[in-house]
Structure 1
Amino acid sequence: MGRENVSFVDREKELGFLEERYRSGRAELLILYGRRRVGKTELLRHFAVGKRPVFFVATLGSRAAHLASFSEVLGQRFADVLGAEVRFDSWEAVFRFLGRRARDERLLVILDEFPYLVQADPALPSVLQKLWDEELRHTRLFLVLCGSSVSFMEGELLAQKSPLYGRRTGQYLLLPFDAREAGMFFPNKSPKERLEIYGILGGVPAYLEQFSPDEALFENVQRRILQKGSYLYDEVRFLLMEELREPKNYFAILRAIATSKTRLNEIAQSAFGEGEARKAAFYLDTLQELRLVERRVPVTETKPHKSRRGIYRLQDNFFRFWFRFVYPYMSALEAGQTELVWKEKIAPFLPEYMGQVFEEVARGYIARAAASERLPFIPERVGAWWDGHEEIDVVAIGEGGRKLLLGECKWSTRPVDLPLLEDLRRKGEYLRRSVGLRETEFHYALFSREGFTKRLERRACEDGVLLVTPADIFE
């Protein structure tokens, strides 16, 4: 079992956004969305404390069932004027009633899992648009439409074709936590342990809550991921079945990427066979909308969407871990051999796996470091760079390309020494020649799991090289 009643962690920025809009006193139509398990409902529940909200969580069902359930919610919230037996027979009647109540009071109305309501009644957005234009925008209504179907929320509510286009007063995509935020779930773990947990679970709150802060990593992995019947054991398949109409095709795409097929043709051939690039591209687009897959190009590319050097990678750490270490050994896990899988198939390869995670965390750190004035310039873009011969883990570009910061990451068991810095400088000169950066000013950063030797620390101090350890990431 994971932890129960975990305290609400870190959504201060998101709560601040909602509170600021709430204090405006004006009519607000906000759209809050994000993938399943990311904490949308929990965020809204915390925001609603003390505000006497109308809070309705939709489920799969018919229009009549939704109206009956919502009528019960309204009957309880407005028992003094409606009574327990009230029944609204249309969404128009519902919103007209809410509009009347919001003339004289700040009224918070939250419709969670809004896509289910629209699935049962496709006319609902048009009804809401009509009433918003006629009367709701002149009230003190604070209406939040929340949904987990990212493709629906972006394609049907935020897109120009939507009846609600131009009516929303704000929108917020709730993302998983980054490494630093995820580490707040485990304040008593060391920085290295927090990074390992993040590398395995990613930043989805529902996943982070499964791990016990009092148990070692191998115990948590065996009991909460590898053990048949545990919450995370088959989470990937469950999530794909919940979100997508053809889960087996998406599964094939994800599996191909997880097995180092990173280019479109490679992915298509692995998932579907020869000549299926167009089919694979369709599924990849959807997976990118869900933030499960991302397409990357070298950060120096000036037209990323047209670049032929793009590669695909799994964006979600838990999906990466599951496809790398769980799915291939399902037969052994079904037989209860969790300890054997951990000892022989996971533990020996975890440092290598964490190397890529550490690189991603390093890029995120650089994107934040400018705010604390640890960088000599404000980055405009942060990413990686590669060609057929060399690769640089971290590249930050600033001042229109006149300044670059190059970084190298090492998730190894020994402190990093001078040769790594010298090799990074060599790669910098190679990049300068390859991309034509004769006038560019270069800066350097090194990221190390186990810190740095004394002589490297002295050189870094002399040359202005940024040195970063796991402890720095969680400052």
Structure 2
Amino acid sequence: MTFVNRKAELHWLEEAYKSGRAQLLVLYGRRRVGKTELLRVFCREKRHVFFVADLAPDREQLAAFSQRLWEQAYGQAETGFSFPSWEAAFRFMGGLARQERLIVVLDEFPYLMETNPAIPSILQKVWDEELRNTGILCILCGSYVGVMEREVLGYKSALYGRRTGQYLIEPLHFHDMAGFFPGRDPIWQVEAYAVLGGVPAYLLEFIDEDDLFAGIARRVLRRGTFLYEEPRFLLMQELREPANYFAVLRAIAHGKTRLNEITQAAGLHDRSAASRYLDILRDMGLIKRLVPVTEKQPQKSRRGIYRLQDQFLRFWFRFVYPNRSDLEEGEAERVLETRIKPHFPEFVGPAFKEVCRQHLRLLGRRGKLPFYPYRLGSWWDGQNELDLLAISEDEAAIMVGECKWWAKPVGANVLSELQQKAKAVLPHFQRPPHVYYALFARNGFTEELREMAAERHDLLLIEASKFHSSGDL
């Protein structure tokens, strides 16, 4: 199993482990993002109990957890043994951690809560009475972000105030792609990111694929493969009304970005229902709400739009779902040649913009920009749109950017257009900021534009074909 990056997450876990104090950690993030593998790497060569919950009856879950504890205590399982209650199991767990550090991972914790809603209260009681005075490091892990934030981290949760730390595990960034695809051409990596995003489970499917299109045909477009039905299974596994959520995702994928548009396109009866579905899909990390980066109170802004956050969902709804009839008949190659390849550069464009935003933030962290991008995103009004807008903390400087996934080199005309669009954003600042410009291009720049950049201090040219996933230029 390839394990890439997650240095910050591992450091966080190691610091908690080395503290020696009782720790109750909450680690959560969307499904397939690599939480379980992260915890397995962390637990390696440490004394630990790793329990993965499921939707089995409560009695069976307790028995399975009891077996794991017994095996840790005595070196072998005891067939048929089970503690009489979860409280007894948690107290025994505390006993194992009195003299020596012990990690206990309760993975898929929401499943435990679903089969026994009293679990958080029981754990809270034993924590207060016993566990907090031991050497336990207990990690509650879950995939449904909303449930973890409400039922485990929320102030109404029985465990509120007991946790000693929490960490939201997010998909990997573009600059992590080299860990999966070392030596691959940067253009290939951008295109692979556009199809698969930063979800490790999806990237691993392509780890041996040199030809991206051949990989798409083999790994995505054929019945029986993991990715062919992934969006359906993802929704069915997590949600009680998957058809409605599916309709909402499909509407967003087809360019419906505002609440009214989504409500109508998804065939929902009212805005409040659509809003509830959107909130849950955001909790799952599948969609995001965007506002112009100049908005001072993003949560209250009426200019918000919805986009798919998961790149693979973008690909699936654009190219797989509409062609299901042909794909069910085994026409993967024909769909690839006639429906995907002709439109692929256009499809990669929005993903390239996201890669450019990540790259610009990375350059800012490394001190390679004129200022640190305190706020970074996109901007739009009724007439103009900026692919990138970075703002310094004091708003004394901004950087506006354009990202072109073109086969031809980008010329001075693009810079001229960007300068005009930049004028539209200036009224949003109390004092006129110093303006810098950044142009990103798939295949470089004209000689005229390069000469202009050499003579100016306010123009940054970044060529995607020379990207290194490490973030260097």
Q: Is the TM-score greater than 0.5?
A: yes
Conservation of the 8 A alpha-carbon contact between 1:212 and 1:220 = no
1:57 aligns with 2:64: no
Structure 1's 18 and 212: CA in aligned 2 closer, same or farther, altered over 3 A? Answer: closer
1:114 aligns with 2:109: yes
Structure 1's 139 and 427: CA in aligned 2 closer, same or farther, altered over 3 A? Answer: same
Match of 2:133 in 1: 138
From 441, 444, 448, give the equivalent of 2:437: 444
1:96 aligns with 2:73: no
1:87 aligns with 2:71: no
| Residues 8-37 of structure 1: per-residue CA shift (max 9 Å, x gap) | 111211111101110000000001111111
Match of 1:299 in 2: 293
1:400 aligns with 2:376: no
| Residues 106-126 of structure 1: per-residue CA shift (max 9 Å, x gap) | 011111111111111111111
* 2:212 partner letter: L
Identity %: 51
1:425 aligns with 2:405: no
Q: CA deviation at 1:194?
A: 0.6
Structure 1's 437 and 418: CA in aligned 2 closer, same or farther, altered over 3 A? Answer: farther
Structure 1's 300 and 135: CA in aligned 2 closer, same or farther, altered over 3 A? Answer: same
| Residues 107-160 of structure 1: per-residue CA shift (max 9 Å, x gap) | 111111111111111111111111111111111101011111212111100000
Question: SS at the partner of 1:416?
Answer: coil
Match of 1:268 in 2: 263
Match of 1:458 in 2: 451
* 2:276 partner letter: F
Distance (Å, rounded) in 2 between the aligned partners of 1:109 and 1:394? 44
Distance (Å, rounded) in 1 between the aligned partners of 2:118 and 2:396? 53
Which has the higher mean CA deviation after the structures are superposed, 458-467 or 151-160?
Answer: 458-467
Structure 1's 473 and 467: CA in aligned 2 closer, same or farther, altered over 3 A? Answer: farther
**Aligned positions of 1:4-15 closer than 5 A:** 6-15=1-10
Distance (Å, rounded) in 2 between the aligned partners of 1:80 and 1:39? 29
Unaligned runs of 5+ in 1: 1-5
Match of 2:322 in 1: 328
Match of 2:186 in 1: 191
Which has the higher mean CA deviation after the structures are superposed, 59-68 or 303-312?
Answer: 303-312
Conservation of the 8 A alpha-carbon contact between 2:177 and 2:469 = no
Question: SS at the partner of 1:89?
Answer: coil
Question: SS at the partner of 2:5?
Answer: coil
Match of 2:176 in 1: 181
**Aligned positions of 1:37-436 closer than 5 A:** 37-79=32-74, 86-272=81-267, 276-432=270-426, 434-435=427-428
Structure 1's 400 and 231: CA in aligned 2 closer, same or farther, altered over 3 A? Answer: same
Distance (Å, rounded) in 2 between the aligned partners of 1:33 and 1:241? 20
| Residues 433-467 of structure 1: per-residue CA shift (max 9 Å, x gap) | x5356521111111111122233222213212122
Q: CA deviation at 1:296?
A: 0.9
Match of 1:474 in 2: 469
Distance (Å, rounded) in 2 between the aligned partners of 1:305 and 1:47? 36
Question: SS at the partner of 2:74?
Answer: coil
Conservation of the 8 A alpha-carbon contact between 2:396 and 2:431 = no
* 2:232 partner letter: R
Structure 1's 428 and 97: CA in aligned 2 closer, same or farther, altered over 3 A? Answer: same
How many residue pairs were aligned? 468
Question: SS at the partner of 2:322?
Answer: helix
* 2:10 partner letter: L
Q: CA deviation at 1:62?
A: 1.4
| Residues 332-371 of structure 1: per-residue CA shift (max 9 Å, x gap) | 1011111111111111111111111111111122222111
Conservation of the 8 A alpha-carbon contact between 2:68 and 2:77 = no
Q: CA deviation at 1:81?
A: 10
Distance (Å, rounded) in 1 between the aligned partners of 2:96 and 2:182? 45
* 2:399 partner letter: L
Distance (Å, rounded) in 1 between the aligned partners of 2:76 and 2:83? 14
Q: CA deviation at 1:7?
A: 2.1
Q: CA deviation at 1:399?
A: 2.8
Q: CA deviation at 1:183?
A: 3.6
* 2:103 partner letter: L
Distance (Å, rounded) in 2 between the aligned partners of 1:233 and 1:288? 23
* 1:262 partner letter: T
Distance (Å, rounded) in 2 between the aligned partners of 1:150 and 1:435? 34
Which has the higher mean CA deviation after the structures are superposed, 114-123 or 453-462?
Answer: 453-462
Match of 1:3 in 2: none
* 1:148 partner letter: S
Q: CA deviation at 1:86?
A: 3.9
| Residues 77-100 of structure 1: per-residue CA shift (max 9 Å, x gap) | 111699666421111111111112
Q: CA deviation at 1:401?
A: 1.9
Distance (Å, rounded) in 2 between the aligned partners of 1:399 and 1:206? 37
TM-score by length of 2: 0.96
Conservation of the 8 A alpha-carbon contact between 1:253 and 1:280 = yes
Which has the higher mean CA deviation after the structures are superposed, 231-240 or 94-103?
Answer: 94-103
| Residues 204-225 of structure 1: per-residue CA shift (max 9 Å, x gap) | 1111111143430111000100
Distance (Å, rounded) in 2 between the aligned partners of 1:73 and 1:390? 59
* 2:44 partner letter: V
Conservation of the 8 A alpha-carbon contact between 2:395 and 2:429 = no
| Residues 273-320 of structure 1: per-residue CA shift (max 9 Å, x gap) | 5x6222111111111111111111111112222222211111110001
TM-score by length of 1: 0.95
Conservation of the 8 A alpha-carbon contact between 1:32 and 1:172 = yes
Which has the higher mean CA deviation after the structures are superposed, 308-317 or 297-306?
Answer: 297-306
Distance (Å, rounded) in 1 between the aligned partners of 2:430 and 2:184? 43
Conservation of the 8 A alpha-carbon contact between 1:365 and 1:473 = no
